[in-house]
Structure 1
Amino acid sequence: MPHFKTPKLTLPNLPYKATHSVGEFEFLELFTSKNNPNFSLLQIRFTPKDSAQIKEFFLEIKRSENTILVRFDKYSRIAPIEIIKNALEILSQMQDSILTHNLNRNTITLEYKLPFIKEINDFLDFSALFNRTCAESKRNFSNIWLEIGFGSGRHLLHNANQNPNILHIGLEIHHPSLEQVARQIGIQKLDNILILAFDARIFLELLPSNILDKIFVHFPVPWDKKPNRRIFSQAFITQSARVLKQDGHLQLRTDSLEYFTFVKELMKNFKESFKIESQKNTKETIISKYEARWLRQQKDIYNLECFALQTSKERVLDFDFIFDSAFTHKDFKPRKFIQKDYFLNLEDIFLGQKSNLLRIAFGDFNYPETRYIIQDSTLHYFRSNPLPSAINHKAHNLLKAYITKNCKESL
């Protein structure tokens, strides 16, 4: 991941603005851990040229006896990674000496990536996103297809090329694959694909009901030793049934007989929601590089075809993530709360000249969130509120109650 090491770090007078060929970078404030004075976070805001798509993130600064490491912060990571590289490059040019770095340029330019890679918050108002995408592409999409874990993007790009009047959404948590596919979207001039790096299990929960026509899950990691990490679960199938239109199609394609059998058994609990068909060694129009490998090894390929039987009720995600009081760092201590179906972990507090920063982890045990909360003129979540799920709202209310009781400061 992008970083550089220097024997002595020189920072500009903050706040500091730097104009770059791709846009403007603002280096806003330095926050230092209360528990570890050798660890800091540098807040950065990036405004792309010819775009209103502002990105905010932190850089980590870790000090040791002889070196200082400056690198991306994984909890506020953004895509494409070139934005973070550019910020690090600007900062590295201010140093008298660089010991090591990995900021070399590659052939994938930012302008090929930025318009196609979305953030999860773009999907919270799905109707607005859909209408905007229709307007920008000058077409009214008749269907919406979702591909989970698109990898190299062969299947996703093929579908988009062959079905220009369908909106294609792709999820991929492997960032290099995400950015390579974004480059192909730009090269092929496709305007009917939206891609993002996000966990599909949470993504489905945030979508409106009866919105998708197809869901593709091709060759997911089997997780035979950690089945709790599998994409298919009771909750995933429940959400798939809700977001698919009646007669919508959920397709699993896998080379793992164990995984196929596991999902087929799960689907027996959803006889009222899905009609199930199974197939073996059917040929697809386009195959992924992994499928090509399995076919060369003469492995069997299994399909599970699931067709939605009913229309689901509409749902509204309307949760309040407001704080009633400010937060004082004087009484802060790291602490973990374990509840029946969720947790809250107060990890660290970072002190700045004008603001303070609280880092917490919370939510569902299987797919938690790590977020920053900033204390400036108000107390609020950095960049955006948590995802509007019932579990996250429970964790927020627990945090709010803890602050009111233990760390309250008048607003």
Structure 2
Amino acid sequence: MPNFKCKILKEIQLPFQKDGVEFLWLAKGENVNLLFTHVQQESFFLQIKKDNKKQEWLIKGEKHTKPSQIGYLQKALLIFKENFTQDIVCEAVALKHTRLIQKTPLIVNNIKELLDKIQDKKQIYIEIGFGSGRHLLYQAKQNPDILIIGIEIYTPALEQVAKLALSENLNNVLLIETDARLLLSVLESNLVDKIFLHFPVPWDKKPHRRVVGLNFANECARVLKDTGQFELRTDSYMYFSFTLETFLNFSHLKAEIAKNKNLEVSSKYEDRWKRQEKDIYDLAISGFGKSENLNKKQKFAIEILKFNLEELDYIKNNFKNNVFKGENFFLHIEKIYVKDKEIIIKIAFGAFYKPEHIYIRLGEHRTDFVFNEPFKTKENLKAIEKLREILYSYIKQ
């Protein structure tokens, strides 16, 4: 993450604008301040932290609000450094203008961008954990009229497969770095034709870390069309049997099982397992039927909260770092910052395996999300309802 350290921090006069970078307001915390920054239609925080022992300031991007392109953050740091600091101790913010441009149109920066791009797509395949991309690229070649979405958590894999797809003129590919469970939970119902999960990490000794679980199975069933199919391919019999047992919780489905089936394309892992004469298991699940659509009209409970200045002072003076665990969700009230007469609260929340981090602004007669509101997943809605209850209890003290 780009950053720099300095000995002297000048007075910050806001709002400030230069060369397309805007610094709009400052929220002060116990030992960290947040500077609301705007570059090229994107907003994020710069974090200003003082090291009292060394008498130095560290300025960097706040990791949970970082912009889609690192160049925006680099530019903001350089503008801040040039105008509000002296005596630079060290820095790692060299601006490369090429970083201001998205590397490839095949990689999307976030889930919202992906959702915008898949509107009106008639057929969609999803591959979870595509690795070297052999199977994903094969599907893209064989099905030029079908959009192939690849999900991976390793950036080098995304970049490498995107280059391969471009070199082969495959324009029906979209790649994203995210947790598959989060993406599935926000997709429209009855949208996807196939979901591939090939050679996932088996986690035989830690089954709770597996991608597959009852919630995952429910989301697969919801997002798949009534003619859709989920396909697992694995060298782990334990993972195979666990997945079958999980999907058998549904009252109606069709399961097709195969062992050591030869496909037209083979992953590097599969090649390795075959050389070791390991068995390969295939499981194809279909027949879920048509699912109900997501309820997009639901509102977050926090939107109805209103505070007066006395209540805001009470929240500020009695704030506590707390963690609350509910059924299938959690809420961690992490930090509080003060902006004039408003309060900024940072929280982590949602499902245990797919946490989100956001900032909420509490003001006189106004409560809202500082940046985009989170996705309306079941877990997120429950967590924000819990936050509303906690804040409401503050003002009723």
* TM tier relative to shorter chain: 0.7 to 0.9
User: TM-score, normalising length from structure 2?
Assistant: 0.82
How far 1:266 moved relative to its partner? 2.4
Residue number in structure 1 paired with 2:90: 99
Is residue 363–residue 395 contact of structure 1 (8 Å, CA) maintained in 2? Answer: yes
Residue number in structure 2 paired with 1:311: 290
Residue number in structure 1 paired with 2:16: 16
Aligned residues: 384
How far 1:279 moved relative to its partner? 2.7
Match of 2:336 among 349, 358, 366: 349
Is residue 253–residue 303 contact of structure 1 (8 Å, CA) maintained in 2? Answer: yes
Deviations 1:351-399 (A, max 9, x none): 2347531111222333332211124573211222222123322222222
3-state DSSP of counterpart to 1:391: helix
Report which stretch shifted further, 231-240 or 219-228. Answer: 219-228
- Distance in 2 separating the partners of 1:180 and 1:60: 32
Flag structure 2 segments of 5+ consecutive residues without an equivalent: none
- Distance in 1 separating the partners of 2:324 and 2:166: 45
Provide closer, same or farther for how the CA distance between residues 341 and 267 of structure 1 changes in structure 2, counting only shifts above 3 A. Answer: closer
How far 1:212 moved relative to its partner? 0.7
3-state DSSP of counterpart to 1:259: helix
Match of 2:65 among 63, 66, 76: 76
Residue number in structure 2 paired with 1:331: 318
- Distance in 2 separating the partners of 1:274 and 1:233: 18
How far 1:276 moved relative to its partner? 2.7
Report which stretch shifted further, 260-269 or 103-112. Answer: 103-112
Is residue 241–residue 274 contact of structure 1 (8 Å, CA) maintained in 2? Answer: no
Provide closer, same or farther for how the CA distance between residues 102 and 357 of structure 1 changes in structure 2, counting only shifts above 3 A. Answer: same
Provide closer, same or farther for how the CA distance between residues 354 and 221 of structure 1 changes in structure 2, counting only shifts above 3 A. Answer: farther
Is residue 107–residue 158 contact of structure 2 (8 Å, CA) maintained in 1? Answer: no
Query: What amino acid is aligned across from residue 252 of structure 1 in structure 2?
Result: L
Query: What amino acid is aligned across from residue 165 of structure 1 in structure 2?
Result: D
Match of 2:112 among 121, 128, 139: 121
- Distance in 1 separating the partners of 2:61 and 2:142: 38
- Distance in 2 separating the partners of 1:55 and 1:112: 17
Report which stretch shifted further, 55-64 or 178-187. Answer: 178-187
The Cα RMSD (Å) is 3.3
Query: What amino acid is aligned across from residue 310 of structure 1 in structure 2?
Result: G
Report which stretch shifted further, 67-76 or 209-218. Answer: 67-76
3-state DSSP of counterpart to 2:200: coil
Report which stretch shifted further, 274-283 or 235-244. Answer: 274-283
User: TM-score, normalising length from structure 1?
Assistant: 0.79
Residue number in structure 2 paired with 1:46: 39
Is residue 31–residue 40 contact of structure 1 (8 Å, CA) maintained in 2? Answer: yes
Alignment of 1:129-140 (within 5 A): 129-131=117-119
Provide closer, same or farther for how the CA distance between residues 158 and 268 of structure 1 changes in structure 2, counting only shifts above 3 A. Answer: same
Provide closer, same or farther for how the CA distance between residues 264 and 394 of structure 1 changes in structure 2, counting only shifts above 3 A. Answer: closer
How far 1:298 moved relative to its partner? 5.6
Deviations 1:21-48 (A, max 9, x none): xxx3322223222xx32x222222221x
Provide closer, same or farther for how the CA distance between residues 310 and 380 of structure 1 changes in structure 2, counting only shifts above 3 A. Answer: same
Residue number in structure 2 paired with 1:251: 231
Deviations 1:112-145 (A, max 9, x none): 346741432346xx5x6434xx6xxxxxx44111
Is residue 106–residue 175 contact of structure 2 (8 Å, CA) maintained in 1? Answer: no
Structure with greater Cα Rg: 2
Residue number in structure 2 paired with 1:367: 354
- Distance in 1 separating the partners of 2:82 and 2:324: 43
How far 1:177 moved relative to its partner? 3.7
Query: What amino acid is aligned across from residue 240 of structure 1 in structure 2?
Result: C
Residue number in structure 2 paired with 1:55: 42
Provide closer, same or farther for how the CA distance between residues 224 and 208 of structure 1 changes in structure 2, counting only shifts above 3 A. Answer: same
Residue number in structure 2 paired with 1:402: 390
- Distance in 2 separating the partners of 1:281 and 1:69: 56
Flag structure 1 segments of 5+ consecutive residues without an equivalent: 48-53, 135-140
Aligned residues with identical type, % of pairs: 36
Match of 2:375 among 384, 387, 407: 387
3-state DSSP of counterpart to 1:360: strand
